[in-house]
Amino acid sequence: MRHTIVPPYLLRRLTTLEDPAMAHVAQAARESLAMDESIRQKRAVAGEEGARRGARRLEPPARSIFDAEQSETLPGTLVRSEGEQAGPDIAVGEAYDGFGHTHALFREVYGRASIDDDNLPLLGTVHFGRDYENAFWDGQRMVFGDGDGMVFGRFTASLSVIGHELAHGVTQYTANLIYRGQSGALNESISDVFGALVEQRVLGHTAETASWIIGAGLFTDRVQGLGLRSMKAPGTAYDDDILGKDPQPDSMNGYIDTVSDNGGVHLNSGIPNRAFYLAAAAIGGDAWSSAGQIWYDTVSGGTIPASSDFITFARATAGAAADRFGAHSIEHAAVTEAWATVGLGM
């Protein structure tokens, strides 16, 4: 299953634009949707097999960045390998650095040996397709489009997007959550969590000072929006004549029951996203070593089923908080209260 950062409902909105000045955007959105659908079922065998366990060495990243040169052929031409100096292509440098920052979070904070916990090389392809309005993890590599230049810019520009997509790989090798309904929304939310944490750690932001925006820097100046999603306040990331209003709910009161978007995986992810933000804010300090550690313990601990629903995951995070910090700790109280606030009291 290809995991894309831009939800299909947003691209479909762009295909309806009738303004002649936006014809290029509408066509780019149609082609991006068609491209996504054409290889939606292509996924690496490793993704179906789940976790591999190796010798538990914590090695430096092994990054390889390829250039598709606006084609739809993967992987493209190798343009930068691990340890090589940066060249003039900004997208190549952003992908390379983003891979390094994501690897560092999982290695240095959670003791994880790359995506698969067995030092999997990190592969990325930039300049995929012509005006492709998305980025995705396909089970083996991360792929970046350049955007249409009017609504979306290049997708390497957002560190939270890079962290998000690589985190799909972590979920693939751990809980391997089914990408539909509530388990799919959890899959998306977990990627948002670690995408945000990668960015916060690089910027030195605390839970209080962080923006909690996923996809900051993706929109051009034409768009009235901060990014694709807000973890702090789902439903407020954008409100724009072109894109419409961010439709994410922030609690179970607004849960969206739909068959589109794989059962609302990009929509209802706002609910667990807000729970994570609330827990991190209540604990205070940096979010990656507290709430982030609890979420990582939950995803990697083997206690949640691939079909997990929200309440099962919520209970598992409460258990992980108690195991690591104590049943009477601030961390445990923050996690249980956060879930209760979004309508999932235990």
Task: Check 3, 103, 127, 266 and give the catalytic one.
Answer: 266
Last residue of a domain, which of 157, 173, 189?
Answer: 173
Query: Taking all residues of the chain, what is their mean pLDDT, rounded to a whole number?
Result: 92
Q: How far apart are CA 127 and CA 92, in angstroms?
A: 9
Before 8, cis peptide (omega within 30)? no
Identify the band that residue 13 occupies on the pLDDT scale cut at 50, 70 and 90: confident
Residue 253 domain flag = yes
Count of domains forming the chain: 2
Query: Is 320 inside any structural domain?
Result: yes
Residue 95 inside a domain? The answer is yes
CATH of the domain at 201: 1.10.390.10
Q: Is 337 a catalytic residue?
A: no
**Of 149, 173, 197, which residue constitutes the final position of a domain?**
173
Q: Phi and psi at residue 28, in whole multiples of 5°? A: -60, -40
Token pair recorded at residue 260? 């589109």
Whether residue 208 sits in one domain with residue 162: no
Whether 346 is covered by a domain: the verdict is no
Domain containing 143 equals 3-173
Please check whether residues 132 and 20 belong to one and the same domain.
Answer: yes
Give the pLDDT mean for 195-210.
Answer: 98
pTM here is 0.93
Question: To the nearest 10°, the Cα dihedral for 130, 180, 176, 140?
Answer: -10
Task: Tell me, yes or no, whether 32 and 117 share the same domain.
Answer: yes
Query: Residue 315 has what pLDDT?
Result: 98
Residues 78-120 have pLDDT tens digits of: 999 999 999 999 999 999 999 999 999 999 999 999 999 999 9
268 with 324, same domain? Answer: yes
Same domain, 38 and 147: yes
For residue range 157-182, what is the model confidence (pLDDT) as tens digits? 999 999 999 999 999 999 999 999 99
Q: Clarify whether 266 is annotated catalytic.
A: yes
Positions of E strands within the chain: 3-4, 63-67, 77-81, 122-126, 135-137, 142-144, 213-214, 229-230, 239-240, 244-245
In this structure, what CATH number is given to the domain that contains residue 146? 3.10.170.10
The whole-number pLDDT of residue 4 equals 84
- 163 lies in a domain? yes
The catalytic residue among 31, 94, 133, 165 is 165
Backbone phi and psi for residue 177, each to the nearest 5 degrees, phi listed first: -60, 130
Does residue 258 lie within any of the structural domains?
yes
Q: Among 145, 173, 201, give the residue marking a domain's end.
A: 173
Q: Are 91 and 75 in contact (CB under 8 A)?
A: no
